[in-house]
Structure 1
């Protein structure tokens, strides 16, 4: 099982190249080998477009002439290979070891809740952390912000449905926010931002629909494939509209996606579920297990006997020691957010621990694990 290459080939390295190239102060990570800061610094404008769920293998096997024509190489996402973790790397410049966000559902002991961190909602429902009096989100999460690391005018181009979430607003920093509704309006927004900036600028734009379609219909579904062609056309138009502006246009993704072949329901294994003091956290492909005091040996034995054919059980502390989350000084809450054990699901498998307030979900495509389909994302680079 290959973990992300944090030594020059992953998203954290990309952000170091961009921040350094724009004259800012990056995190502790090395620059991206395939896009050194010196190349970034040669251009007046830098635009980073993140296409949620766009795996490198998926791209290369599909008709997308603009993206494939300007694909420079494949690079790695970060671990876990999921939006909450990857997007936070884009918005902070840090690897998960530093930013401390370890999946869609995270146990925040300091808030006493398991939460979906990006929408800011407790897993059981109810009020989000934006309703907590006097909670400074950035201070709570202990995050730096990419837009505040760079001494240039910056813009955050974000879908309307997430533009004003507490997470998004906290990580906007000094950037100006440009919400949009459609893919075409995203293109229009980016063009507007670049052409109104006579000085050096940085623009981050995010598109989520490919990931949504992949989850609902599967990464190989005709609807998903056709949407990639739509994205390719739109970004080709964007590049054409930006021609002559001296813009370095970069396209990548937070993670790829793999098809779901088998779903395991924790409720079907009551002896294992009884060992847990919290619902499984993290992702359906990489779940963090919090085990009741004194039940660790029983939990290990049961998982090995009953689930050993579909997942690998590892003490979470070993993943931390082995650098799965990246190098550097870890976030003070990182160890608490990965539980006692990691359930690393084998290819094609997911695990579901459904709470009373949750509806059953039928995912056709997923991510979070370390198969090549999930881990490898494209690096597309062109000068406009």
Structure 2
């Protein structure tokens, strides 16, 4: 399925947040028809639970507080992955504009394929360079453009990372450890912002995603973690009762599982790897390929012959033209970031390669593709009157 960059997508939700931060109160995508237009000292809280797909919520959330407050569903961006979607949440820009088109991006200026969130190169350690952050992330954050105070609440181990600090410019950053401390930080921040006349709180929680990757998206550890998150959400609503805060919960993507027999290793196919001018980038569910000049037809023939039922090969330029990466001003390095061809993996399938000194993690739960489970995320909302 295709991403929606309008009212029914995560991008559209953040466009509404941008308008709200600019002082607009009309046409906000989380507002119910009977909501009052303006409330003095209003605080908007957006809690993003990394990896909480709408299909999971509806299948396993029966009786939960989160499902009770579910309003509707939204699509993620493409690729349906953290690097692309979280950057949209923190900038208001689509991948077409911010250029982070997956966990790995192709960046010849900094030595090849790198991961922009931890700022590491595939198999080569940390990325360094003059004016690194401003060159990799030349766009302003959502918070720099706001007319209301903003606070970002992030896990302690990433709150001070270069990526976080770059994308949190204009906001105050609060660190936490564990979901109960996240709730406490949100409650404290809401009270402080109300005293200042209102503002915006963005809270990010990543443990659900980490457990889904490691154990699978329907595993016992994931179900236990969902129960903890649901209890925390219920506690948050109780502690904010009477504050007038609007609390939204959504996600950056959902999950599917990737059985071992549906994992393709490109590095075992030397004749195919020789057709590529770089390592794969993007996602293992949506892999971008930089095919060597002159090898395009041979690579396409290989895909037609060997990948039916496993992957669909598309020219990347066609996906850009079709709007899969969203609207906006085109990132000047978008062509580099999406390569010449894209392997859109079929349900349950992934593809990876390997570079020297790299050990790709074994992931059971995966995302990044265009299945409904990966693309649909919930929009949960509650007003704490």
Contact 2:213 2:364 in 1 (8 A): yes
Deviation per residue, 1:144-189 (Å, 9 max, x gap): 2111121111101000111111110001111111011111111111
Distance in 2, Cα, partners of 1:207 & 1:160: 11
Q: How does 1:121-132 map to 2 (within 5 A)?
A: 121-129=120-128, 132=129
Residue in 1 aligned with 2:364? 364
Contact 1:85 1:103 in 2 (8 A): yes
Distance in 1, Cα, partners of 2:21 & 2:33: 8
Contact 2:286 2:368 in 1 (8 A): yes
Contact 1:22 1:40 in 2 (8 A): no
Higher mean C-alpha displacement, 35-44 vs 87-96: 35-44
Give, in angstroms, the shift of residue 380 of structure 1. Answer: 0.2
Secondary structure of 1:61 counterpart: helix
Contact 1:12 1:95 in 2 (8 A): yes
Aligned CA-pair RMSD:
2.0
Contact 1:9 1:34 in 2 (8 A): no
Distance in 2, Cα, partners of 1:193 & 1:278: 46
Contact 1:272 1:303 in 2 (8 A): no
Contact 1:258 1:373 in 2 (8 A): yes
* Pair 1:7 & 2:3 matched: no
Give, in angstroms, the shift of residue 36 of structure 1. Answer: 8.0
Give, in angstroms, the shift of residue 41 of structure 1. Answer: 6.1
Residue in 2 aligned with 1:120? 119
Contact 1:120 1:165 in 2 (8 A): no
Q: How does 1:108-257 map to 2 (within 5 A)?
A: 108-129=107-128, 132-135=129-132, 137-138=133-134, 140-197=136-193, 198=195, 199-257=197-255
Distance in 2, Cα, partners of 1:106 & 1:38: 44
Residue in 2 aligned with 1:322? 322
* Pair 1:76 & 2:75 matched: yes
TM-score (norm 1): 0.93
Contact 2:105 2:115 in 1 (8 A): yes
Secondary structure of 2:110 counterpart: coil
Assess, with a 3 A threshold, how the Cα gap between structure 1 residues 138 and 232 changes in structure 2: closer, same or farther.
Answer: farther
Q: How many residues align?
A: 376
Contact 1:9 1:32 in 2 (8 A): no
Give, in angstroms, the shift of residue 128 of structure 1. Answer: 2.7
Distance in 2, Cα, partners of 1:275 & 1:37: 56
Assess, with a 3 A threshold, how the Cα gap between structure 1 residues 268 and 32 changes in structure 2: closer, same or farther.
Answer: farther
Residue in 1 aligned with 2:383? 383
Secondary structure of 2:168 counterpart: coil
